[in-house]
Amino acid sequence: KHFPVKRTIGEVLLRIPQRYVKAVDGISFNIFKGETFGLVGESGSGKTTTGRLILRLIEPTDGQILFEGEDITKFSKEKLRKFRKNIQIIFQDPLAALNPYMKVGEAIKHGLEIHNIGNTRLERKKMVYEMLERVNLSPAEQFYNRYPHELSGGQRQRIVIARALILNPKFIVADEAIAMLDVSVRSQLLKLLIDLKKEFNLTFLFITHDLATTKYICNRIGVMYLGKIVEIGNFKDIYENSLHPYTKALISAVPEPDPKKKKEKLIPRGEVPNPINPPPGCRFHPRCPFVMDICKKEEPKLKKVNERLVACHLYK
Ligand code: SF4
């Protein structure tokens, strides 16, 4: 049934053509077994998209994602279902990650049932109890039958960690995993993640906008800006002597606890450009204090400089 269209003077309808954002554009990096690789950048840099691509929660339009030599973008649905046990994610918001109608013990046990781990209900329940104790939610029986809203933010994040680790994964994507917690709880959770990484022999991708946090947990870091990786290297090298102007700006913004140590502040000009229409050449050029003519025309490629990779025309 068609209704007559009512026209009113002063009403303007704008049709916006379909647009795409290249959230991640031609990035390439390795994460070595047993390390914690930090992916750092402002919001909108593409770091969360990268984490989700690795879990195939988002399908890439191009490229490969190799896990132990196998391209996971080629996995069938069934192979992917079995493979998912190997890679787990810890999201930023534990309340959103947990089913509000499911008791937390059942939520952890659910993963065991999906992946056929444990032979009986009782055995699975025992495994959940052990894992609750391991993430310091003790005594476990006091937590098993509670709902997410009955727990604090830190306790909920421990549940999410327990749910991930009970499947005995090899790789963990921690996406701003401690960003929403109070400062005191944050350091406890960071310590827990470091301990569990050693105990379970894990490899971590640690995604964060907070460069200061990477100091405690990361071996190497990659810095992202507008969908591109601009610098990759050992944490210490980058922190003590960063090369890319954007990395320098991020590091100069980290508060220095020692008041005697003076740090030069490097503040990029203006706002992050619109990712729908990123600037030509180096994407950082409209904000870079060292911009040159070549930067506006030619995209700098990642190249090896002093044992690290950097994408900047300042380094030939
Ligand atoms: Fe700055 Fe040019 Fe380096 Fe880009 S390539 S970061 S604009 S100096």
Q: What is the pLDDT of residues 85-97, one digit of tens each?
A: 999 999 989 889 9
Query: What pLDDT, on the 0 to 100 scale, is given for residue 10?
Result: 60
Tokens of 236: 């210490």
CA 230 to chain CA centroid, nearest Å: 16
Is the CATH number 3.40.50.10490 carried by domain 24-59+176-316? Answer: no
Helix (H) or strand (E) holding 106: helix 104-114
**77-169 matches 24-59+176-316 in CATH topology:** yes
Is 219 in contact with 308 (CB distance < 8 Å)? no
Task: Pick the closest to residue 237 from 256, 266, 214 (CA basis).
Answer: 214
Pocket probe for ligand 1: among 266, 295, 301, the residue whose CB has the most ligand atoms within 8 Å is 295
Per-residue confidence of the chain (316 residues) as pLDDT tens digits? 454 444 545 666 666 666 788 889 989 999 999 999 999 998 889 999 999 999 999 999 999 999 999 999 999 999 999 899 999 999 989 889 999 999 999 999 999 999 999 999 999 999 999 999 999 999 999 999 999 999 999 999 999 999 999 999 999 999 999 888 888 899 999 999 999 999 999 999 999 998 888 988 999 999 999 999 999 999 999 988 999 999 999 998 887 777 777 667 776 777 888 888 899 999 999 999 999 999 999 999 999 998 899 999 999 8
pLDDT of residue 260: 72
User: Which residues are CB-contacts of 151 (< 8 A; sequence separation ≥ 6)?
Assistant: 104, 143, 159
CB atoms within 10 A of CB 77: 6
Instruction: Provide the pLDDT for residue 71.
Output: 95
HSE-up of residue 274 (Cα within 13 Å, Cβ side):
4
Asked if residues 244 and 283 have their Cβ atoms less than 8 Å apart, the reply is: no
Q: Give distance in angstroms: CA of 106 to centre of ligand 1.
A: 51
The β-bridge relationship of strands 308-310 and 66-67 is unpaired
Q: Tell me the three state secondary structure of residue 121.
A: helix
The atom of ligand 1 lying closest to the CA of 282 is 4
> Domain-by-domain residue ranges, the chain?
24-59+176-316, 77-169
User: Using an 8 Å Cβ cutoff, are 27 and 223 in contact?
Assistant: no
Q: How far, in Å, CA of 11 to CA of 313, rounded?
A: 49
pLDDT of residue 12: 60
33: left (phi over 0), alpha (psi -120 to 50) or beta: beta
Give pLDDT tens digits for 207-257: 999 888 898 899 999 999 999 999 999 999 998 899 999 999 999 888 777
Per-residue model confidence (pLDDT) at position 253: 84
Omega before 139 within 30 of 0, i.e. cis: yes
122 alpha-carbon distance from chain centroid: 35
Tell me, in angstroms, the distance from the centre of ligand 1 to residue 109's CA.
50
Q: Which residues line ligand 1 (CB under 6 A)?
A: 244-245, 282, 284-285, 288, 290-292, 295, 300, 312-314
Would you identify the CATH topology of the domain 77-169? Rossmann fold (3.40.50)
